[in-house]
Chains A and B, each alone.
Chain A
Amino acid sequence: MNWLLITFLILGVLAIASALFTVLSRHPIYSALSLIVHFFSLAGLYLSLQSQFIAILQIIVYAGAIMVLVVFVLLLLNLSESEMKTLQGQSRRGVGIALIAIFVIILANIIMVNYSQPTELTSRADLFTAQSIGNALFSSYLFPIEITGILLFTAIIGALVMAKKKLID
């Protein structure tokens, strides 16, 4: 058997199942926990694509920083069980599922038509190291990364201003 295919199938099924559970579960804290599983399975997929640095980054940034923020806010809001409402509107859910089905079919058609020639995955573990990514980031992508720094700085100030108590009253 092809071990790459088996790995892909396990990780892909795990990613789809955890994403579905995130979207459909009743309580937000279960959504958050299964979203962590989703991030880990995506990190595994990145590893299967020989991008080890990005896989580690995925775990650190998403499963570390962003999920800590989400769970922290969930705990801070302290929603009681009575406030939990069921998924609203069966009709809206039906419309959503139909829309998604059409979207997936169109997407599969587009993918099957456009990329019919086989592309082989050769060994690229030496190409995607932290060193080569850093070299690219600070040579040919220097201006975008500075702009990203400004974006993150602005986001910090914006979050601080918005979460302040006095502004609300």
Chain B
Amino acid sequence: MKAIPIEYYLILAGVLFAIGILGVIIRRNAIVIFMAIEIMLNSVNLTFIAFSSYLGDISGQIFLFFVMAVAAAESAIGLAIILALFRKKQTIYVDEVNTLKH
């Protein structure tokens, strides 16, 4: 069985990370920005797993554990912030939230 080189996984992870950055840059909806951040976290997870699997080291999988825990905490806090923002401002578009500016 001929294995595929690890560069394929790394390039895929890089492309996914770039798509995540693209989402954070061009979207204004806070929930979509939030989902783009999830895409970026997942691309980093893919790199961890690729290296862990190709080098035979279990540390990458452990780190993915912690990344998942942080992502879960981030999603709970972030969605609570979005909910509170919507109650206060009636909007979830990030460029309409400029109270701190003035």
Q: Say if the beta carbon of B97 comes within 8 Å of chain A.
A: no
Q: Is the interface of A mostly helix, strand, loop or mixed?
A: helix
Q: Please, what's the 1-or-0 string for A1-44, where 1 marks a CB less than 8 Å from any CB in chain B?
A: 01011001000100110011011000010011001001100100
Residues of A in contact with B, size category: 35 or more
- Interface contact A15-B12, CB-CB below 8 Å: yes
Q: Is the interface of B mostly helix, strand, loop or mixed?
A: helix
Q: Please, what's the 1-or-0 string for B16-36, where 1 marks a CB less than 8 Å from any CB in chain A?
A: 101111110111110110111
Contacts A4-B2, A4-B4, A46-B49 given; does A151 touch B68 at CB 8 Å: no
Cross-chain contact of B3 among A46, A66, A121, A151 (Cβ < 8 A): A121
Q: Say if the beta carbon of B100 comes within 8 Å of chain A.
A: no
Interface residues of A in 88-103 (CB under 8 A from B): 88-89, 92-93, 95-97, 99-100, 103
B91 to chain A, nearest CB (A): 8
- Interface contact A69-B20, CB-CB below 8 Å: no
- Cα A108 to Cα B2 with chains together (Å): 23
Which residue, B32, B36, B52, has most C-beta atoms of chain A within 10 A? B32
- Interface contact B2-A70, CB-CB below 8 Å: no
Contacts A54-B49, A119-B6 given; does A77 touch B92 at CB 8 Å: yes
Which residue, A35, A121, A144, has most C-beta atoms of chain B within 10 A? A121
- Interface contact A100-B18, CB-CB below 8 Å: yes
- Cα A39 to Cα B68 with chains together (Å): 13
- Interface contact B80-A159, CB-CB below 8 Å: yes
- Interface contact A2-B76, CB-CB below 8 Å: no
Residues of A contacting B87 with CB < 8 Å? 165, 168
- Interface contact A168-B88, CB-CB below 8 Å: yes
- Interface contact A38-B39, CB-CB below 8 Å: yes
Apart from A16-B15, A57-B65, A103-B21, what are 19 other A-B pairs with CB-CB below 8 Å? A4-B2, A5-B4, A15-B12, A19-B16, A22-B39, A23-B32, A42-B42, A45-B12, A46-B49, A49-B9, A58-B68, A61-B72, A96-B22, A100-B19, A120-B3, A121-B4, A136-B62, A148-B66, A155-B73
